């Protein structure tokens, strides 16, 4: 695991890789179900790759064939016992997880993360974005970790699904899919159903219900100058605009100038 190189805003799985006679590195998302990665090699669809441990340089490809495309599977062993295996052919999404002892694995998981792994609040209603007043500035503050009830600014339908903010996305290859973002303020976990290259702007971000683009044409990210998308979040008794950067990996987020005169986001310099 590489704490220095993030993919999907989480430490990446860092490996050496060989494609044909070319050698390089690949940093894969550690979020189960995400297919995002960063590599210094061009990896075309259906390309076969060899994966090597960056420490002992041992070949990690096995003789176990993929159930879908018959390419060699590549296993990763877990601290809690068991393994995750992925296909070595680019574009094949086949993967599986096995536990040596499921009971022991669950026990260790709950010991490490607790039963409320997604958020720190025993009651999710305690995390709702209810601003409190700053006595000095008389502005309202939404606390870091607050659950942001998020809605489409066009059709007004909720975009929260299974405690995640779900948005429709289109990448540079015109593939459509979904990105799941943490709805907790200043919690940056994310995963997508299609490949999104780190540090690249997402071509379009849409409401998953009405399919309307959420990109704001006349506003840019204040950090990287990329286009931003706008969603609506609930604060007290009204909805306010909440902006997020469309560049993969950029954590900037913010409010409109009018709302910033009345509301502040605690510890929020980035999304």
Task: Residue count of the chain, please give it.
Answer: 271
- For residues 249 and 197, give the distance between their C-alpha atoms in angstroms, rounded to a whole number: 9
- For residues 190 and 8, give the distance between their C-alpha atoms in angstroms, rounded to a whole number: 5
Give the up-direction half-sphere exposure of residue 88: CA atoms within 13 A in the CB hemisphere.
24
> What is the pLDDT averaged over residues 106-120?
49
Residue 189 has pLDDT above 90, yes or no: no
Give how far Cα 64 sits from Cα of 60, 83, 109, Å: 11, 14, 28
> String of b and e for 193-214 (b: at least 16 CB within 10 Å)?
bbbbebeebbbbbbbbbeeeeb
Residue 115 has pLDDT above 60, yes or no: no
Mode of pairing for the β-strands spanning 37-39 and 22-28 = antiparallel
pLDDT tens digits, one per residue of 206-246: 999 999 999 999 899 999 999 999 999 987 567 889 999 99
Can you give the pLDDT at residue 145? 81
> What is the pLDDT averaged over residues 177-199?
89
3-state SS, residue 83:
strand
- In the beta sheet, which residues pair with residue 96? 85
Of 233, 234, 235, residue with least CA distance to 244: 233
3-state SS, residue 109:
helix
How many CB atoms are closer than 10 A to CB 114? 9
Can you give the pLDDT at residue 95? 83
CA 95, 42, 167, 112 torsion-angle sign: positive
pLDDT tens digits, one per residue of 169-187: 999 889 999 999 988 888 8
Query: Secondary structure of the chain: what % helix, strand, coil (to 5)?
Result: 5, 40, 50
* Tokens describing residue 198: 């780190």
Residue 139 has pLDDT above 90, yes or no: no
Domain chopping of the chain, boundaries: 2-98, 124-265
Can you give the pLDDT at residue 1? 84
Can you give the pLDDT at residue 114? 47
Can you give the pLDDT at residue 120? 42
Can you give the pLDDT at residue 2? 86
Can you give the pLDDT at residue 191? 87
Of 208, 217, 138, residue with least CA distance to 179: 208
* Tokens describing residue 74: 């590549």
Residue 109 has pLDDT above 70, yes or no: no
Neighbour-count burial of 147, counting CB atoms closer than 10 A to its CB (0-12 exposed, 13-18 middle, 19+ buried): buried
Where does the pLDDT of residue 133 fall: very low under 50, low under 70, confident under 90, or very high at 90 and above? low
**In the chain, what percentage of residues exceed pLDDT 90?**
48
CA geometry: angle 90, 75, 106, nearest 5 deg: 120
Where does the pLDDT of residue 104 fall: very low under 50, low under 70, confident under 90, or very high at 90 and above? low
Can you give the pLDDT at residue 108? 59
Contact between 128 and 184 under an 8 Å Cβ cutoff? The reply is no
* Tokens describing residue 87: 């296909």
Can you give the pLDDT at residue 141? 77
- In the beta sheet, which residues pair with residue 152? none
**Average pLDDT for the chain:** 83
* Structure-model confidence comparison of residues 240 and 141, the more confident one: 240
Where does the pLDDT of residue 101 fall: very low under 50, low under 70, confident under 90, or very high at 90 and above? low
Where does the pLDDT of residue 79 fall: very low under 50, low under 70, confident under 90, or very high at 90 and above? confident
Give how far Cα 164 sits from Cα of 45, 153, 160, 259, Å: 29, 17, 5, 24
* Structure-model confidence comparison of residues 74 and 102, the more confident one: 74
Residue 112 has pLDDT above 60, yes or no: no
């Amino acid at each position: 695991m590489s704490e220095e190189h993030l993919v999907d805003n989480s430490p990446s799985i860092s490996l050496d890789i060989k494609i044909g006679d070319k050698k390089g590195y690949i940093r894969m998302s550690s979020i189960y179900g995400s297919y995002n990665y960063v590599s210094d090699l061009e990896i075309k669809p259906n390309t076969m790759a060899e994966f090597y441990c960056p420490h002992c340089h041992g070949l990690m490809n096995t003789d176990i064939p993929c159930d879908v495309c018959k390419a060699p599977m590549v296993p990763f062993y877990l601290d809690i016992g068991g393994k995750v295996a992925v296909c070595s052919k680019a574009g094949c999404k086949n993967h599986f997880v096995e536990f040596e002892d499921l009971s022991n694995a669950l026990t260790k998981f709950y010991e490490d993360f607790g039963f409320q792994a997604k958020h720190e609040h025993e009651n999710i209603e305690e995390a709702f974005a209810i601003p409190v007043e700053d006595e000095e500035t008389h502005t309202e503050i939404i606390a870091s970790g607050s659950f942001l009830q998020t809605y489409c600014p066009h059709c007004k339908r909720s975009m929260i699904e299974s405690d995640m903010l779900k948005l429709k996305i289109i990448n540079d290859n015109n593939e459509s899919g979904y990105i799941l973002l943490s709805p907790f303020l200043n919690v940056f976990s994310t995963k997508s159903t299609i490949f999104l290259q780190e540090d690249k702007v997402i071509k379009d971000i849409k409401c998953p219900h009405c399919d309307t683009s959420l990109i704001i044409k006349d506003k840019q990210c204040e950090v990287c100058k990329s286009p931003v998308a706008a969603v609506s979040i609930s604060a007290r008794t009204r909805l306010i605009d909440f902006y997020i950067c469309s560049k993969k990996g950029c954590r900037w987020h913010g409010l409109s100038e009018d709302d910033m005169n009345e509301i502040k986001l605690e510890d929020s310099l980035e999304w």
